[in-house]
Each structure stands twice: as structure tokens, then as C-alpha cells.
Copies of this chain bind each other. A is one copy, B any other.
Amino acid sequence: MHFTSEQRLDDGVLERAFTLGEIPGILWTPASASASAPAPLILLGHPPLGLHKMYSRLAERARHATADGFAAATIELPGSGDRPRWAAADQARADLRRAMAAGEPVGDGIVDALVLPLVERAVPEWQAALDALLVLPEVGGPVGYSGGVISIGTRLAVVEPRISAAVLFAGSLVPRAMFEEARRVTIPLHVLLQWDDEGNDRQAALDLFDAFGSREKTLHANMGGHTGVPQFAGDAAARFFTRHLK
């Protein structure tokens, strides 16, 4: 892990860009974080649109997390941003766009092709990022995962014991195989659902929530579209992390 740039933000938060092998990432640490008082970490998931495009929303979420005393970190997804294109993923996205433009139902084949290889590649990368981040003296456990592609969050919750709690965003297509995987999740979950999300299947989101094996799981459904999560819903997710990671 190599830091490639750093800047101190207004509120004393240190924002550092890094690379982990070929993978770019960003780490935010609160002014209070130190070797004697390491900040618990929240991994910021995001959709595969590229870190540049997602930067302002990620920085806003990081600001919220650091204000609550957390470190926050994110990495670029495979095939996104400046990372090498990935022909199969591009093909799957093109198929999805074509189906949606034609008003056709999005078949299982398209969803599987779009999501499952992304999960397979991304999850070990997030775990490698965790290895590197937790070595830093100013960053500590426990670790939370927040947002992004819900299938990545689900797989991480199953395979990565260092993740103690997750805020998941029910806003992406879910392969059928993930419903079985969801039953194996046991960590506390806080699931956000935008009730009127245009590109999302509400019933599938409710079915996935039902499938999660966690004894503590909460669904917060709010009005509005995909990017319209109300401020108070973000605040509630932050309180969930404070309750479980501190």
C-alpha cells in the first residue's frame, strides 16, 4: 500500500489517496486518530461507476463517518474508473442497458453475468485492502461495511470475520444465488431501501432482507428514488455503526 497524495480537510480530517497494487483507493482519518487511539474503520462501498464519478458522494459519507470518530476507506472496483476494462463486464452492462431500453424484463442470465464475476473479483480486493489498512497504527477494528453493491456487502459479511456490522443499500440487482448466501450472514445489518427506486425491484429487496440470517437486522424504507436517501436516514445508519463499532 502506497500513499500517493494527501490533503488536510477543513475539519482536520486527513484524506489520503493510495494504491494497493494496481488498485486506487482513498482513506480518510479523523483528526483524533492516533496510534494510541486508533479509529474504528468503515469501508465505503459504491456502485461500479468509478471513484472519480463517485468522489463527492463518497467524500460526504466519509465526512459523516469521520465526524463520528471513524476512519473511512474505499477502493476502486475491478473494471471501473482508471482500472483496466473488463470485456465480460462491459458486455453484461450493455446487455442490461439494451434490456432496460427495450422495456424487457432483466433476465437471470444478465443479472448473474453482471454481478457474480464482480463479487468474485471485488471481495478478495476489499479483504486485501482491509489487511493493509488495519496495519496502519491510526486505524483499528472493529470494522463496518457500508453501501455499494449489496451482493458484495453480503459476500463480505459471510466470508470476512473482521467485519462486525454492515449497512447495506437495497438498490441493485441481486442474483438468485445471493439469496442462499444471505442466509449465512449473522452480523447485525441495517438495510436501506428507497421505496420508489426506479431501477430496483422492491419485492426482491424485501425478499433479500427476509433471507438474511442475522438475528439483528433492521430495514429502513424511505420515499424517493435511488439517490434520494433522506438526511435523517443517513443519520440513523451512522447511529447503527456507533452502536455496534464503538
Interface residues of A (CB under 8 A from B): 195, 206, 209-210, 214-223, 230, 232-233, 236, 239-240, 243
Contact = CB atoms under 8 A, between A and B. Distances in A.
Contact of A233 (B195, B210, B218, B221): B218
Contact of A215 (B206, B219, B223): B223
Contacts of A209: 221
Contacts of A195: 210, 219
B222 A218 contact: yes
A230 B215 CA distance: 12
9 contacts: A215-B223, A216-B223, A217-B222, A217-B223, A218-B222, A218-B223, A218-B232, A221-B221, A232-B239
Given A195-B210, A210-B195, A232-B243, A220 B223 contact: no
A201 to B, nearest CB: 14
A232 to B, nearest CB: 7
Contacts of A217: 222-223
B223 A221 contact: no
Contacts of A214: 223
A232 B220 CA distance: 13
Contacts of A236: 236
A210 to B, nearest CB: 7
Given A218-B222, A218-B223, 19 more contacts: A195-B210, A195-B219, A206-B206, A209-B221, A215-B223, A216-B223, A216-B230, A217-B222, A217-B223, A218-B220, A218-B221, A218-B232, A219-B220, A219-B221, A219-B222, A220-B220, A232-B239, A232-B243, A236-B236
Contacts of A223: 214-218
A-B residue pairs, 10 tightest by C-beta: A219-B221, A218-B222, A220-B220, A217-B223, A236-B236, A215-B223, A218-B220, A216-B223, A232-B243, A218-B221
A222 B223 CA distance: 18
A223 B232 CA distance: 21
Contacts of A240: 232
